[in-house]
Amino acid sequence: MLISIRTFEGKEIPLEVQSADTIQSVKRSIQSKERIRIDLQRLMFDNRTLQNRRTLSSYGIGDGAILYVVLRAAQHSNTVAGGYGLGNANDELCYPYG
């Protein structure tokens, strides 16, 4: 069956899947097509977050369904401001003299 994945940017990704496929396997397909890491993906359908070990059929997901992928915030243990690229908490700020 064919389902669509809608990204946070509004892009639609068609995926050929089986009703017995797990949510985890759908996330793997998204990662290979869109390079979105599995651990950062949260899939939504019918206003519910989908659990990795359950199957598409267990959620009533059928041909033509649209799933939404939402990105989770990346977890960084020792970065400033929760990992927004501001540098490591152990980094020092150095200013030139003059």
pLDDT tens readout for residues 16-66 = 999 999 999 999 999 999 999 999 999 999 999 999 999 999 999 999 999
Determine the 3-state secondary structure of 43 from DSSP: strand
For residue 64, being part of any structural domain is answered with yes
Query: Is residue 98 one of the residues assigned to a domain?
Result: no
Contacts of 94 (CB under 8 A, 6+ apart): none
Give residue 75's pLDDT band: very low, low, confident or very high (50, 70, 90).
Answer: low
Contact indicator for 83, 91 with CB cutoff of 8 Å: no
| Residue 34: DSSP 8-state | H
Number of structural domains (the chain) is 1
Question: How large is the average pLDDT for residues 77-91?
Answer: 41
CA distance 4 to 60: 15
| Domain carrying residue 12 | 2-74
Residue 91: pLDDT band with limits 50, 70, 90: very low
pLDDT of residue 72: 84
96 occurs within a structural domain: no
Q: What pLDDT was estimated at residue 27?
A: 98
- Is pTM beyond 0.85? Reply is no
**CATH number of the domain that 52 lies in?**
3.10.20.90
Specify if 45 maps to a domain. yes
Q: How confident is the model at residue 1 (pLDDT cuts 50, 70, 90)?
A: very high
Nearest to 58 by CA among 16, 22, 14: 22
